[in-house]
Chain A
Amino acid sequence: MTRTPHGWDIDGPVQAEIFVVWLRDDHLELTGPCGPAPWLVELGAIDHPVDVVDRIVRDVVGEPLLVHSTSWRRDREAVILSFVVVIENSTVGDMESAPIGRAALARGEATAAPRVIATEAVVEHGLRHMAWLAKDDPVVAATLPAAWRDVLSAYVPEPFRALG
C-alpha cells in the first residue's frame, strides 16, 4: 500500500484518500485505479467531499455500493479525509488488487492526535467503522451483502476514534 515517492502528486489543503474495498471469496481486498495504494483526490474550496468522491469513483471505477467517510487526519501538509468505498466483485475488472491485513490502530493521547498514522491503521479504522455501521445503520446493513457482514464481524466496531 505505497505510493511512488517521486513523481507528479496532488496537493491542496484538503484531500480525499479513497480506499476501494471488495470481497474476494472470504476476505477483503483493496483495489482502485492506483491498485491497492491509497487513491488521493484533490478537494476544492467549494467541493462537497462526498459528492466529489462519489462522482469520481463512478467515473473511474464504476458504480459503488457504499461511499463512507471514515476518518480524518493531518498529513501531507493538508487535511486528509479518508473514505471507504465498497464495490461489487464485477466492478473490479483488471484493476490491481491486494488482500487487506489486520493492523493495530493508531492511538493518540487524551487531547492529542497520534504522532504517526500508517495507512494500514487508517484502513483498519475504516473497516471497524464499517463494522459498526453494518450493525447500527439500516441503510448500510441493507446495502452490504450478507457475506460482507460476516467478514466485518471480525472487526471490533469502533466508530468514533479520531485519527487526527
Chain B
Amino acid sequence: MSDGMLTLRCACGWEAHGTEAELIVAATEHGRRVHNMTATREDVLAMIVRPDDAAAHHARLDRPDGDVA
C-alpha cells in the first residue's frame, strides 16, 4: 500500500484500499451486493481510515496513558 492510500474495512473481513472516490464506489457496491445495504457517500466517508487516523491510533497505543492531547 502506498503512502496516502486510504483504507476501508468491513466487519465481514472485506477490505479495500484506494482513493476516496475509489473507496466510495467499491464500498457502495460491496454493501449493496453482499449485505443488502444502501450506503450513502457520507456513510462510506465516515468509515474510511486515513493515514493521519492510523498515525494517531498508533500514537495513542504508544503512550501509557493513551492520551494524545
Contact = CB atoms under 8 A, between A and B. Distances in A.
Interface string A117-143: 000000000000000000000000000
B34 interface: yes
Interface residues of B, number: 17
B1 to A, nearest CB: 17
A77 interface: no
Majority SS of interface residues in chain A?
A: loop
B34 A8 contact: no
B27 A8 contact: yes
A37 B11 CA distance: 10
B11 A44 contact: no
B10 A4 contact: yes
A60 B33 contact: yes
A52 B9 contact: no
B63 interface: no
B12 A34 contact: yes
Interface of B: 8-14, 27, 31, 33-37, 43-44, 47
